[in-house]
Structure 1
Amino acid sequence: MGPPEHLGSYRLLSSLGAGGFGAVYLALDPGGRTVAVKVLHPHVAADAVAIARLAREVETMRLVRGRHVAEVLDASLTGERPYIVTRYVQGRPLNAVLSADGPLAGDDLVRLARGLAEALESIHAAGVVHRDLKPANVIVSDGEPYVIDFGIACALESASVTASGAVVGTPGYLAPEVLEGRDAGPAADVFAWAATVAFAASGRQPYGTGPATAVAFRVVHREPDLSGTPSWLAPLLAECLRSDPALRPSATDLINRLDLTRPPGDRPGRRDADRPWAAAVTSEAASGSAAGTTSGAAPAVTPAGGHQGGHPGADAGDEAVTRAWRPGDPRRSVDDLRARHRRKLHRRWVAGSAVVVGLFAAAARDNLPEVSLLLLVLYGIGLLVDAGFGLAARSRERPALDAAGGVGAVAVWALLSSLFSTGTLLLAVGTVVIILLMLVFAS
């Protein structure tokens, strides 16, 4: 097996898929963190106009920061294989989620709609237009949406890239002004937001399916089909799907409107109380004024009916309570996830090693009793050292788990020695060795 492929300072691990502009790979950065590397297709890389435009836009794209966007971290647009590096979000594309689980409803739909609106607000605040928002460019992780590929479609639109006559974007999610050749602004993304949310809510494309030209014709000349979308959401979607971009709300307006419009039966303040990153707002914001947000902070949340996010059951007349969002407030920080992952790996290692050591010691008990005893002693010493590190790190779970592993190894040794013959145990040892070697080569 040859050495892993590298692209610049990034080690490519596996393919994540491919789109109209390039192939995406899971990769490791120099610090060992996972990232997504998008390598542009050769016909795009050969387009000097498109690459020059993308190079100008990348610096702006790197300014986009938001909880619901996969930020651009790095880019190299020179050489034969230009690429863009973004934050890696582990999850499934929205279209795959809908195909497997069906349309979204209730709080899940609200989380999607609001998360996408927050992403567009962050993107537009940096002066970027996504231009190709659609279910395939939305990654869903733990129920939260994350927008990928923002700004790339707009930056790569050039004569040679579209020489085949193809439209940069996806019909059904492209706004009428884009299909008619007019400039696309933030309002075009709002149109795509509505088409995406309508599809998520109903499982149906608002402009139907079929040839791209037929879908594009319906977008320009027909009204959207919003049947199947909830009654509380349909009016907002219809407003966003208007033909005149000047009549569509902004991304910030979408957030405020969604906060004031809740699905029937959704208890006011429930979503916000369950999310430590959500910020309650004062009564002035509830009356319609929009609070400004700084880059990287979550927009203000205005619970319907005057209820505050920190007090789900409060009356409308109660005093408003403000909770500011702070970095580290997300439900599960990166450090917490890493610590949980390390603990899980440690538990698996102790359990697996206890079984393997007990098996090997049992197989050697009759013919090589000294080796059998040595294996158990060495394993015990290793667990004692590991428990010492756990005590130094003030971990109570780690020493207890190591002690359980030592007892488990002795128990496996005694049990297998009494139940099975030496020949059977040696056969089991050989099987384990083969499996371990296969795992090593596979990794």
Structure 2
Amino acid sequence: MSAPELLGPYRMLSPIGAGGFGEVHLALDPEGRTVAVKVLHPHIAADEAAVARLAREVETMRRVRGPHIAEIVDAALSGDRPYLVTRYVQGRSLAVVVAQDGPLRGDALVRLAHGLAEALALIHDAGVVHRDLKPANVLLADGEPYVIDFGIAHALDSASLTASGAVVGTPGYLAPEVLEGREAGPAADVFSWAATLAYAATGRQPYGTGPAPAVAYRVVHHEPDLDGVPEWLRPLLADCLVTDPEARPTAAELCTRLGVAVPERTEVLPPAAHPNGGPVNRLHEAETREWRPGMRRPRKPSRKPRAESPWAEHQRRVHRRWVIGSGFAAALLSAAASDPLPEVAILLLGTYGLAMLIDAGFGLAAKSRSRVVLDLAAGFGAIGLSLLLTALFSPLALLLAVGTVVLVVVLFAFAG
């Protein structure tokens, strides 16, 4: 068996993917930790102006650190095989996850929205624009998202690269201003964030599929397809997908609207010059780790409590409507049955009261005072409302009211 290939100080193990700018290899650093090494394609390495620009940008990109970012930890951009080294994330891309497992739901979608918003806020705070955020550039590991390849598309955008066949961005996730040839700023990343979330939530491209020019035309001139996006997320995505970049929220505003604390950037001092003029290896500062097949990812330390997210607010609103609506229905049915069937009336109120006591118990376990108060108030309120309706209306009028309520519910069900 031949010895593993060495690229600089890195021992190359196996290729793990390829993109428009290079081929990615799983590798070991000199201390035996796993990293991802991205070797630039030959036609890109031959573009001296683009590589020089990337070299100027890379130190800024290396200062972008965060729990949802596969940060750059080393780079060697001279020689025949220029490469970048990033933290290795053991996971599948969002594109693969959705294709194999279907759209993300519930907590998985919430974690994706929160994590990507935090990552963008940190990237933009460092003065970097991703410019190619899309499902293929988001890795999911144990349900947590990680952004890869940030800043590379922006740094390598040049006429010679475009002419040589590298695709700087992906139609359907590129903002309208980018497709029209204007400058791509942080607002373009916010557009891509929303398009990526729409795909994750529905399993469909928000601007459809087909030839790239057709998709690009729909991005500029048509509204996105957000059918199937959860109610708590849809208004935010619609605001991010407007054609005017000035009207879109910033990444920090995304965090605020999602109930996520805006992350603070950790300053990383620039590396000292290597005595031989080569790359400076600062892997001791990176969040790399030794990995072996079958090893589970370590649990992350608990974070500070977050503000209530739109998803949690949506759940609380649905719960409140269910408690109030079912209480009114139980009171009305009990009042209608009190004269001909008093035992049924007592059973209805007793069953509803028991359900509220059980739900209040869950509220106590979750330390939700408002939920406990709502459940107890609804239980006693249903009893009081039933007695009031019995005193004010005849059994016939109450039966007609019950029939009307049932008819309205059925109509709403069919309309939905």
- Given the alignment of the two structures, is residue 313 of structure 1 paired with residue 367 of structure 2, yes or no? yes
**Corresponding residue for residue 48 of structure 1:** 48
Q: CA deviation at 1:164?
A: 4.6
Match of residue 295, structure 1, among 259, 266, 272: 266
Q: CA deviation at 1:252?
A: 1.4
Q: CA deviation at 1:108?
A: 0.7
CA separation of 1:312 and 1:295: change in aligned 2, threshold 3 A? farther
For 1:50 and 1:316, how far apart are their aligned partners in 2?
A: 58
Supply the AA of the counterpart residue of 2:306.
Answer: V
Q: CA deviation at 1:123?
A: 0.6
For 2:159 and 2:305, how far apart are their aligned partners in 1?
A: 41
Structure 1 portions without partners, runs of 5+ = 261-289, 318-443
**1:173/1:191 contact within 8 Å kept:** yes
RMSD: 2.3
For 1:104 and 1:114, how far apart are their aligned partners in 2?
A: 14
Stretch deviating more after TM superposition (159-168 or 124-133): 159-168
For 1:222 and 1:291, how far apart are their aligned partners in 2?
A: 32
**2:122/2:263 contact within 8 Å kept:** no
For 1:14 and 1:291, how far apart are their aligned partners in 2?
A: 37
CA separation of 1:300 and 1:171: change in aligned 2, threshold 3 A? farther
- Given the alignment of the two structures, is residue 158 of structure 1 paired with residue 161 of structure 2, yes or no? no
Supply the AA of the counterpart residue of 2:215.
Answer: V
CA separation of 1:114 and 1:85: change in aligned 2, threshold 3 A? same
Supply the AA of the counterpart residue of 1:109.
Answer: L
- Given the alignment of the two structures, is residue 190 of structure 1 paired with residue 190 of structure 2, yes or no? yes
Q: Deviations over 1:10-53 (max 9, x none)?
A: 00000011100000000000010000000000000000010000
Partner of 2:35, secondary structure, is strand
Supply the AA of the counterpart residue of 1:61.
Answer: M
- Given the alignment of the two structures, is residue 72 of structure 1 paired with residue 43 of structure 2, yes or no? no
**1:120/1:251 contact within 8 Å kept:** yes
CA separation of 1:128 and 1:210: change in aligned 2, threshold 3 A? same
Partner of 1:161, secondary structure, is helix
Partner of 1:128, secondary structure, is coil
The percent of aligned pairs where both chains have the same amino acid is: 69
Q: CA deviation at 1:165?
A: 7.0
Partner of 2:14, secondary structure, is strand
**1:293/1:300 contact within 8 Å kept:** no
**Corresponding residue for residue 83 of structure 1:** 83
Q: Deviations over 1:222-241 (max 9, x none)?
A: 11011111122111101000
For 1:104 and 1:291, how far apart are their aligned partners in 2?
A: 24
Partner of 1:50, secondary structure, is helix
CA separation of 1:299 and 1:37: change in aligned 2, threshold 3 A? farther
**Corresponding residue for residue 108 of structure 1:** 108
For 1:142 and 1:106, how far apart are their aligned partners in 2?
A: 15
Supply the AA of the counterpart residue of 1:64.
Answer: V
**Corresponding residue for residue 398 of structure 1:** none
Q: Deviations over 1:213-254 (max 9, x none)?
A: 100000011110111111221111010000000111111111
**Corresponding residue for residue 366 of structure 1:** none
Partner of 2:161, secondary structure, is coil
Supply the AA of the counterpart residue of 1:15.
Answer: P
Q: CA deviation at 1:293?
A: 2.7
For 2:4 and 2:104, how far apart are their aligned partners in 1?
A: 40
Stretch deviating more after TM superposition (177-186 or 163-172): 163-172
For 1:300 and 1:180, how far apart are their aligned partners in 2?
A: 42
Structure 2 portions without partners, runs of 5+ = 268-300, 317-364, 372-416
Partner of 1:11, secondary structure, is strand
Q: CA deviation at 1:299?
A: 8.6
For 1:149 and 1:99, how far apart are their aligned partners in 2?
A: 21
Q: CA deviation at 1:291?
A: 6.1
The 5 A counterparts of 1:25-424 are 25-164=25-164, 167-259=167-259, 293-295=264-266, 301-303=306-308, 312-315=366-369
For 1:103 and 1:219, how far apart are their aligned partners in 2?
A: 22
CA separation of 1:94 and 1:59: change in aligned 2, threshold 3 A? same
**1:74/1:86 contact within 8 Å kept:** yes
**Corresponding residue for residue 14 of structure 1:** 14
Partner of 2:85, secondary structure, is strand
CA separation of 1:61 and 1:46: change in aligned 2, threshold 3 A? same
Q: CA deviation at 1:259?
A: 2.0
**1:240/1:249 contact within 8 Å kept:** yes
**Corresponding residue for residue 337 of structure 2:** none
Q: CA deviation at 1:295?
A: 2.2
**1:15/1:26 contact within 8 Å kept:** yes
**Corresponding residue for residue 328 of structure 2:** none
CA separation of 1:63 and 1:213: change in aligned 2, threshold 3 A? same
CA separation of 1:208 and 1:299: change in aligned 2, threshold 3 A? farther
CA separation of 1:303 and 1:211: change in aligned 2, threshold 3 A? same
Partner of 2:162, secondary structure, is coil
Partner of 1:301, secondary structure, is coil
CA separation of 1:196 and 1:212: change in aligned 2, threshold 3 A? same
For normalisation by structure 2, the TM-score amounts to 0.65
Count of residues paired in the alignment? 286
Q: CA deviation at 1:314?
A: 3.6
Q: CA deviation at 1:313?
A: 2.4
CA separation of 1:292 and 1:42: change in aligned 2, threshold 3 A? closer
**Corresponding residue for residue 416 of structure 1:** none
CA separation of 1:202 and 1:292: change in aligned 2, threshold 3 A? closer
CA separation of 1:90 and 1:221: change in aligned 2, threshold 3 A? same
For 1:299 and 1:212, how far apart are their aligned partners in 2?
A: 43
Partner of 2:58, secondary structure, is helix
CA separation of 1:172 and 1:19: change in aligned 2, threshold 3 A? same
**2:198/2:206 contact within 8 Å kept:** yes
CA separation of 1:177 and 1:291: change in aligned 2, threshold 3 A? closer
**Corresponding residue for residue 333 of structure 1:** none
